[in-house]
Structure 1
């Protein structure tokens, strides 16, 4: 038993304790029995999600903190990508930066599905978040530069509402796609569409 008087999920008895299978022996003191870490892998509850990064790379027990590290690495990339995207936009132009970052987001998001190891997955996600930070900063700057000042607050507010709605849609996608690879692919494909739409508008409808 664990600290919360529940069955321990990360350790097992070194020797089989058959006597504990009998309900009349539940009061036996098990604190002095030798235990060890699980050496043969884990069995996961797949009733809700068939596959996640936790089940993919066994981010449980001693490796449980790696899941939090993956989220922190992702946010660090976004934090770095926003100012770096501003510098790149000033140097090469906002529309080229927007095109490049949207294409990178689509490619990196798709490549993360095929990551063979967890460190490579985190590295891809770090670059992905950097490109997404560039997208958000570039689109915001373009809206401010293109729109009249009297409608800018309303458009920026609508943009924020759209981002929030996207987070809601993401929860729905997670309900539909129970495998993390399919969920990641469903997020990555729209960036291909976004890249093609920006490219079409920029080079076909309004060529320089």
Structure 2
């Protein structure tokens, strides 16, 4: 998308990081007001929908705007997972270590997946569809009832 304008690749990464900053501020305050679980689920849903939309972005500016929203959603997920108010005090250390270990394993899985899927649009779709299935799994277990 940016072969002739390589600087836009760096700009898109900076805009993604700005989305992380915006998401930490916005979802941090929102999770204090309405609770961690609803914000966690909303963040996953936003990341899934806008991550899927990134795959269909027609040009770089739409791509950057959508990646900013995805960055905010990623930050919302991380902010709500790290606070861990729904885990008992005795299990918080283990739960936090499990969350960070899962994040690192997920990053390695994305590297492996990107080795197998060379088209970035298909990689975005593959990365977003698993989040949609995660929302579906939460719905079946009654996790979404706190949002509605």
Same fold (TM over 0.5): yes
How far residue 128 of structure 1 moved from its aligned partner, in angstroms, is 1.0
Other-structure match for 1:184: 124
Other-structure match for 2:133: 193
Q: After TM superposition, where is structure 1 displaced by more than 6 Å over at least 4 residues in a row?
A: none
Q: Is the 8 A contact 2:20 2:71 kept in 1?
A: yes
Q: Does 1:153 align with 2:97?
A: no
- The alignment's TM-score, normalised by the length of structure 2, stands at 0.89
The structure that is helix-richer by fraction is: 2
User: What is the RMSD of the two structures over their aligned residues, measured on CA atoms?
Assistant: 2.2
Stretches of structure 2 that go unaligned for 5 or more consecutive residues are: none
SS in 2 for 1:115: coil
Equivalent of residue 202 in structure 1, options 126, 131, 142: 142
Residues 159-182 of structure 1, C-alpha deviation per residue, up to 9 Å, x if partnerless?
111111111101100011010011
Other-structure match for 1:113: 55
SS in 2 for 1:146: coil
Q: Does 1:133 align with 2:60?
A: no
Other-structure match for 1:74: 16
Q: Is the 8 A contact 1:59 1:67 kept in 2?
A: no
Other-structure match for 2:109: 169
How far residue 157 of structure 1 moved from its aligned partner, in angstroms, is 1.3
Larger Rg: 1
What is the alpha-carbon distance in structure 1 between the residues aligned to residue 43 and residue 145 of structure 2? Answer: 21
SS in 1 for 2:142: helix
Other-structure match for 1:104: 46
Matches within 5 A, 1:33-44: none
What is the alpha-carbon distance in structure 1 between the residues aligned to residue 96 and residue 37 of structure 2? Answer: 19
Q: 1:100 to 1:117 in 2, by over 3 A?
A: same
How far residue 79 of structure 1 moved from its aligned partner, in angstroms, is 1.9
Q: Which has the higher contact order (CA 8 A, sep 6+)?
A: 2
